Structure 1
Amino acid sequence: MKFENIFGHEAVRKQFDELVKNKRFPHAIMLCGEDGIGKSIVAKEIAAKLLNKTEIKEYADLIEWKILNDKKSISVDQVRKIIEEVNKKPYEGNNKLIVVHDMDYMTIQGQNAFLKTIEEPPLGVYIILLCQSQGRVLDTVRSRCQIYKLNRLDEHEMRKFISGTYNVTNEDEMRTLLAFSDGIPGKVDDFLNDKSLKEIRNMVINAILNIKKLNPKDIVDAANQLSEYKKLWREICNYFVLYIRDALVYKETGNKELLINLDKIEDIKKIASQFSMKQLNRMVEAVNYGQSNLETNVNMPLTYVEMLFKIQEV
C-alpha cells in the first residue's frame, strides 16, 4: 500500500513524519483508538518510514505480535518471546520495529515483565503498542510511552475512503455505509463482507416487524439466537436503534431520502405504520436499557429476553 492511499488521521501522521524526519521519534509509543479505526495501518506507515521504505508491506525488520488464536490475552510467556525478538539485531538496516497489537489484553504479569524493555529498548529498536482502551493498560506502562489517540474519521474523510477503497458511487449505498461505519473505516468492510452482520440485520428487522405476534417461547428463542453472536452485541443494539430511528423519521416526514437503511425501505414503512411515535420512542428506551445491561455484563440471553418483552409491551 502506498502512503497516499491511507485515509484520515492526517494531523497525527504529519506529526509522526516530522519526528521521523528530524530523527526524534520516541523509542516507545502507544496508539489508542477503537477497533477498525486504522491503528495498525498508521503503525505500519510509521514502521516503513523508520525503515526508510516507500510503501507499506511486510519487512524483515517489522515484527508484529498478536494474541494467539486459542488465547484471550497476551501471556507473560508470549511477552518473554517478544523481549527476545526486541533484543535481536536488525536484519537489514539499523532500525527495527516491534508492533504489539491488543496491548490492553496483555496480562498484568506480562505488562510488568515488559516494563524494562519498553523503557530501554536497544538502540534502533522502536516499540509501537496498539490498544482500544488505555484504562486496561498499567499506569507504569503508559508513563513509559508517548500516547496518541486516533479519532473517528469525519464524513469527508469517510467518503474518500469508501469511494477510493470500494469504488462506491451510488449515493444511497454511500449513505448507508457512512451511517453503519460511524467514522470507523474497518466497519465498512465488516458491513460489506461479514456474513454474521447481514444475518443479524435480518434477524433484528424481523424481530421488530413481528414483535406483536411473538409468544413467550418465540421471544426466548429469538433472544437465544441473538446471544449466539456474543461479540456483536453492540452491533445488534445499534441495528435495533437505527431501524427504529428510520421508522420515526419516515413516520414524521414521509421522506425516504432521510433514511439510513434504504435497502430496507419497505420494512421501514411497515414499522412506521404499525407503531405510534410514542411507541417507537419507548422502543428506543428499551434498547438503550438493554445495551446498558450488556455493557455491565448482565446475563446476555436474559437481557435480550427482557429487552424484547419491553419492546413488545410498548
Structure 2
Amino acid sequence: MNTFIIISENKSDIDDFVDSLIVKNRISKINITEILPEPSIGIAEIRKVKKSLNLKPYGGGKRLIILREMDKATTEAQNALLKVLEEPPVNNIIVLSCLNSNNILPTVLSRCQKVSLVQTVKQNIKSISDIENIFIKLIYSSPGDRIIISQDYSNTKEQFLEFTDNLLSLLSTFITSNKYISRISIKEIADIIRKINKARILIEKNVNYKLTLDILLLGFPTKSAHKTLDK
C-alpha cells in the first residue's frame, strides 16, 4: 500500500516520517508536492493532486504527494480523493497527515495505512537503539565478523527485508537529526542507502538473500576502533 495517513500532534514527528520515506524511496525534491490547508483543503486542492499524479515522476523515480492537516479538508474534497487513494498511479506515494482522525471519513481511512506516530515512537525506541548498536558494531568489525553478524539476519527473506528496512530507518534518522558516526560523511551514508536499496531489489528477484546480505555488509565502510558516535 502506497497511501498513508499519519496521526500526530507534532509536526516534527510527521516531518521525520516523511523524510524517512524520501530517503528510503530516493525521492528527489522536484517530485514532491505538498498541499496545505488555506484555511481548509477543498476541491481545488484535490484537482492539484490529480494533476500532479497525471504526470510521470521526473527522472523516472517516485513521486510523493503530502496533504497536510487532512482533518481540515471538506467532505467534498475527501470524497473526491477516494478514487486516487484506492488506485494510486504506479511510483506514487500519498501521505495524509491529521491531528484528529475522527474528522476523516471512514472511507478515506480504510484506503490508507494508518500510522500513529505517538505509538510508533514508543514501540520503536528499543528497536532503533538495537539497530544503531548493530550498525556501530558492523563498521568497526572485520570482514569475518561481518559475515557472522550477517548469519543472524539472513535466515529468511522476511528477516532480511526487516533488517534492511530497520537500517534504512536508522540512516534516515542520522540524516534528519544530524547525528552521524564519527568521520562518516553524508556521502558515505547515502552510498550505504543506495547499496541497501539495490540489495532489496535483488531480493525481490529471488537472488540468494544470505549471499546478498554478506556482500552488502562487506561493502559498508570500515572505521578505526578509536572512533565514536557524534552526539
TM-score by length of 1: 0.37
TM-score, reference length from structure 2: 0.49
Q: Which has the higher contact order (CA 8 A, sep 6+)?
A: 2
User: Which structure has the greater CA radius of gyration?
Assistant: 1
